[in-house]
Structures are given as C-alpha cells and as structure tokens.
Amino acid sequence: MHFHTSQNSQSCLLASSVAVLQAEKRGSSTGVGVGELIWPSPSDGTPFWKKDFPSSGVSPEVFADVKDSDPKHIIHVTAEMAPIAKVGGLGDVVTGLARACLSRGHTVDIMLPFYECIQKQHIKDLTVITKYNSYHDGNWVPTTAYRGVVSGIPVIFIEPSNLFFKGQYVYGGSYNELEAYLFFSRACLEWMQQVTSTQPDIIHVHEWQTGALPLLYWDIYHHLSLKKPRIVLTIHNMEHYGECSKEQLSKSGLEGSVYASIDKAVDDRTIGHNPERLSLLKGGIVYSNAVVTVSPTYLKETLCTGWLASTLVRNRDKYFGILNGIDITMWNPATDIFLPVKFNDQKPEGKKFCKYYVQRGLGLASEGTQDGNHVPDITYKAPLVVCITRLVPQKGLHLISHAIKHIEELGGQMVILGKASDVRVQTEFEGLAKLHNQGPCIRILLMFSDELSHMLYAAADMVLVPSIYEPCGLTQMIGMRYGAVPVVRKTGGLADTVFDMDDQSNHNKANGFVFEGIDEGSLNCALDRAFTYFREKPDEWNGIIKKVMEVDNSWNNTAGKYVELYHSI
C-alpha cells in the first residue's frame, strides 16, 4: 500500500490514522505497530529526539551468507567509530566494514583513542587490559589500553595520561591534534608489538590522522618483531592531508628530515619554501601496501586534480576505488530504535507516520494537525526535503542556503540538520535559522544529533546532497534505504549511486534527481523535476520510493572487494 494512490489506499491510511489517534488516547497498540505513540510538539520540555531510547543492543547480524575461506585478522586504526565517536562518514564506514568482515568470518578489532567525550553508554564490558608506556617527544608516556565491545565489534581504546584527546568533542580539543594522532599511531603499534605480540594480517589505517603509522611500521616496528602485517590506507577525503613539520614528525621517534623528499612525504606545494612541510597523508600513500578511496568516480577525479594527483599517479598500481557501503544493521527502518513507527519496503506505511511525527515535533505545517475530532490527513501534499550534513564548503553551502528559498517558493518543506565548525558559517546559518524557524515550512537545526538524523531520514520525501565534491557520500544511500528520494549533484560517489529519473539511457538504474552545475539554476531544475514527480505523477513517485528502498547499498556488496584486496597484498 502506498500513499496518494487509490481511493482504497487513502481509506486504509485514514483507518490507520484513526487507529493511531485512538491508540494515542488509550495507549494501546495498532495494526501498524504504532504502539503507545505520543505526538511530540515544539513546546515539549524535552525535544522528541532527546528522550530516552531503548538501548540498541545491536549485534553483528549475519547479513552476509558469504563466509570467506582463509579468514584474516584485521585491525583498524582510526580516529572515528560510529556511534561512540562519530563526526561524519568515517565513523560509519569503519563500523560498517568491520561488522561486514566479522560476519564473513574474519577476526576484526578496532583501535580508537579513548576520547574524553566518547559515548561510554554504548560500550559493553569496558575493562582495562593493560598499562604500558609509549614514546612521544623524548618521553615514554604512561598509557592505558582498555577493551570493550561496541555494537558487537571488539574495540581497543588507547588512553594516554597526558592531555591528548581530552575535551568536549572528537576534534578541536585544546591539545595539539597532529601530535596527539602521531602519538596514537605509535601507541597502537607499540601495543601490538611490545605489549601483546599481536601479529594481525592487516593493519587498516584511515585518513591523515593515522597516516604516519605506515612510516612507523616499516621504519621502526617491522625491524623489531612485528613482521606479518600489511598496511591498507583508506582515504575518505583528500581535503585534509595532515600538514606536519619535520620537527613535529620527529616527535614520533622517526627522523623527520628523512621523509622530506618528493618520493616520500614532502608536501609538493611547499617545495622551495622555507620551511618545507610534510603531509602525513602523502607519507601514508607512499608507505602503505594498498591505498583505497571510497568510490570509483572519486578515484578518477583524484588522479586528475588536487596536489596529491601526481603522488597517486605514481602509486597507481596500488590505488583502488571501492565504493562505501552502509551499515544496514545500524540503518534499518524496520528495526530502528529511534523511529516512532518502523517500516520497510514491503510495508512502507510507517513512513507517513514518521513524517507526521517529525512535522508535529518541529512545528512544521501538517494538514494532519489535530483539530477537535478531526482525523489527521497525513497524505499532506507538501514534500519534505532533508539535508543532513557537516556545514563545510565541500557540501555546497550556497546551494543549501539557496534550496531553502527555492523549496519555500515551491511550497515544500525543508529541514537542515547541520553542524558548522567555522564561526562565519555558523553565524550565516544562525541568521537563516532566525529568519525561517518561526515559519511553517523551514527548520534549520544547527547541531549534531544521531537520533534526530535517523528520524529525519525516515520522515523525508527527498534527501538533498548538493556537494561541490563528494568522495562517496552516505546520506544519499541512507536516505534511500529509508525511502527518501535523493536529489544530488553529479560528483564523486554521488555519481556512482544516484541516476537521474529523466535519463532515458539509464532507466533501469534511475533512482533520483541529478544536476551537474554548481549554480542555483541547476539545483532549481533538479528540485523542480522532483517536485513535479511528487505532485503530478504519484504512481511513479511511489515506484521510485519502492525502488530506492530496494537498492542494496550495504557492505554486502562491497566488503568483498576489501577482502580480495587484503588477500592480494
């Protein structure tokens, strides 16, 4: 049953709505799994996304029938892991890939800094395993290693006794971040080599933060007893490259000046300047056995543009593009603990309730607003567009702010859930929030909330991703799984996952609306077409929803490529 279609389905929905309302009064459950649903309101003391949710109890669901022969031991060394230390897609990817490999029969551990802000409530069986010393800047720093389990995945936490990783947020604490991650990279190797004599098959590092680990491994630890591991580096975003002076690198115990050559870690842009700088990301590329980036199109783009292109071309033989997947255990509208009503592609009715729930909770216009004995008409026609993003230039800030205006003109609704790290961007969006948040159709929420993000994907008719560049992008894939049709700019991983409805040459794959230019007109055109489908071609629109929910963007599809790579090196 879909919405807007036949008289029949309308009356079914109305019947469900009546059931919801009655349930609201009686606190009884209904046939659509609404249970004791209480509609939220903006005047609630606690916003609806901050109430207590049942603990997720997620376990490594065996979603792959595949069991790999010759299982490997893989240790991820990373700055982020969802949900306990997540800032963006990196956290999702580490958790999703680790879970996929576990379920395929591999042994997987994740090593993570023990951030002060880490969400301890999601860590099971947290225990100290050992105390040891790790080198930094002429000293041996007393360090504690903890073990715990996060959504079914074993994690080792590294906690130095100095100020590193202290503060309210994952990034941006009042310690030297570069030095903290240099310390962390070495402390992980120290833990493997000296403390536990662990010899994983693969050490999988991510981003610039752990880019020094391959250097430390090949030039120090491999000469000690750590012989077996091979190193894989995944680059999730080339924008951040770990700019580092020789002196800073030397604090890790390596001789910084040794790496200041074009074939090693020197930042090509600084050659001839005084002082020349190093890039931990470049060093990581040169010193890893394999380098992966997160979509085939981004791979092509990065071989042609950006200052790392020449390094990547030189290392082309070991450079691969593997599309990210999404963790379908964490992102599953049929079991998602944050949704007021669950749904799936076979039973999508719950999505309407999620939309109505969010509209009520945020005070957005919804024809269904209860008025005396009126039954809410949750077939309300305003399409709801969501944009869930870090508010940084990469994400197309001018297009996001333009979308607010255009969607309002089109009579739609828009919710932006975004976090800015730059004060100017924060101020600009605060201004927009002030202008719009009292009105009936736009909400701009400047914060990070995992809980609310789940509810917004479930509520959305469309998910907007107007990025200037996008290595892979997860929000379009998550949105699709939750029945939100993507409207995206054709770049990087967005070009690999979203195919335009009006592109006749690719009709089988068509699953969204795509634009190419970075101008407002290009965005308008894609939004106009999406709105026209939504309003004038309801059957086709329902077809798209079904199709996007059925797309398999899970790690099932792509984890195997990582496994092949692990074997090949």
Per CB under 6 A, residues contacting ligand ADP are: 88-90, 92, 388-390, 417-419, 448-450, 453, 472-475, 478
What is the closest distance, in whole angstroms, from the C-beta atom of residue 391 to ligand ADP in the complex?
8
Maximum CA extent, the chain: 77
Q: What is the DSSP letter of 193?
A: I
Nearer to ligand ADP, 137 or 450 (CB): 450
What are the C-alpha distances in Å from 72 to residues 111, 199, 200, 224, 568? 17, 11, 8, 22, 12
Contact 478, 338 (CB under 8 A): no
What is the closest distance, in whole angstroms, from the C-beta atom of residue 493 to ligand ADP in the complex?
8
What is the closest distance, in whole angstroms, from the C-beta atom of residue 454 to ligand ADP in the complex?
8
Nearer to ligand ADP, 290 or 460 (CB): 460
Nearer to ligand ADP, 21 or 417 (CB): 417
Nearer to ligand ADP, 175 or 448 (CB): 448
- Given the DSSP bridges, would you call strands 123-136 and 139-150 parallel, antiparallel or unpaired? antiparallel
Nearer to ligand ADP, 350 or 486 (CB): 486
What is the closest distance, in whole angstroms, from the C-beta atom of residue 481 to ligand ADP in the complex?
12
The CB density around residue 567, as the number of other CB atoms within 10 Å, is: 13
What are the C-alpha distances in Å from 478 to residues 264, 465, 510? 38, 12, 17
Judged on CB neighbours under 10 Å (0-12, 13-18, 19+), 450 is: middle
What is the closest distance, in whole angstroms, from the C-beta atom of residue 478 to ligand ADP in the complex?
6
Contact 67, 563 (CB under 8 A): no
What is the closest distance, in whole angstroms, from the C-beta atom of residue 351 to ligand ADP in the complex?
17
What is the closest distance, in whole angstroms, from the C-beta atom of residue 90 to ligand ADP in the complex?
6
Nearer to ligand ADP, 229 or 479 (CB): 479
Contact 16, 24 (CB under 8 A): no
d(CA 544, CA 345): 11
Sign of CA dihedral 532, 537, 542, 543: negative
Q: Which residues pair with 293 in a beta bridge?
A: 235, 321
Nearer to ligand ADP, 21 or 472 (CB): 472
